[in-house]
Amino acid sequence: MHAHLLIGNRGVEKKIEDIVDKDSKPINFSLQKIDDVRSLQSLTKFQGKEKRYFVLKDFQNSTVESMNAFLKLLEEPGENINFILCASNDRNILETIISRCNVIRLGHSINSKDISSAKKYFRSHISFKLKTLHQINNREMALDFLTMLIEGGHALLIEDPHKYAKLSKVIRSAIEIRQNIINNANVTIALTKFSLDLV
């Protein structure tokens, strides 16, 4: 397949190295707007015998218009042209693009901020937890918050399984609620259900 979609931030550079031929040097490119697609099209017109790899970083930030324009390149890439799309998540990426790529889910590196935020949340009183949930007012915020809880919670469980044993139920609930929101569940209703699971 001539297009790969790397989702997550764990080991991105290593995975790019694995995909790219040893003798090739990948070309980093940003695809944020329509003009970027035009520039990329002009670069891919030059045919050669060597394989060429275009690495599109932060692809989740591309506009819908630029992704739609990029689709034509994906469908007719030209000989020896390969694309590596890198995205922290696939929430904003068009299904038509995802379906044309070899999707590789890398996961996310857990940072110390997520761990400390999760620890603060899990140790707090129920009133603080409910207040925190009440401040979340859109899908993006909800997914980011739940991802932080899931990944931070996992790190705490690994750190001390006995001390944080009760977290496993909350993490399972967060995973379920996060998937529901990804599947277009109402954010307020989903988070209300999550808050009931905390009681």
Question: 85 and 44, same structural domain?
Answer: yes
Is residue 124 within 8 A of residue 170, CB to CB? The reply is no
Question: 78 and 150, same structural domain?
Answer: no
Question: 101 and 40, same structural domain?
Answer: yes
Question: 118 and 99, same structural domain?
Answer: no
Contacts with 155 (C-beta within 8 Å, 6 or more apart), sequence order = 110, 114, 115, 118
Q: Please write the tens of the pLDDT for every residue from 92-125.
A: 788 899 999 999 988 766 667 778 888 888 888 8
The domain boundary, picked from 48, 76, 107, lies at 107
Question: 159 and 99, same structural domain?
Answer: no
- Whichever domain contains 27, its CATH number is 3.40.50.300
Number of domains observed in the structure of the chain: 2
Q: In whole angstroms, what is the distance from residue 199 CA to residue 195 CA?
A: 7
Residue pointed to by tokens 């904003």: 92
The string over 102-111, giving b where at least 16 C-beta atoms fall within 10 Å of a residue's C-beta and e elsewhere, is eeeebebebe
Question: 99 and 7, same structural domain?
Answer: yes
- For residue 150, what are the domain limits? 112-198
The domain boundary, picked from 107, 140, 174, lies at 107
Question: 167 and 90, same structural domain?
Answer: no
Q: Please write the tens of the pLDDT for every residue from 40-97.
A: 888 887 766 788 899 999 898 888 899 999 998 888 877 788 999 999 877 778 889 9
The domain boundary, picked from 76, 107, 138, lies at 107
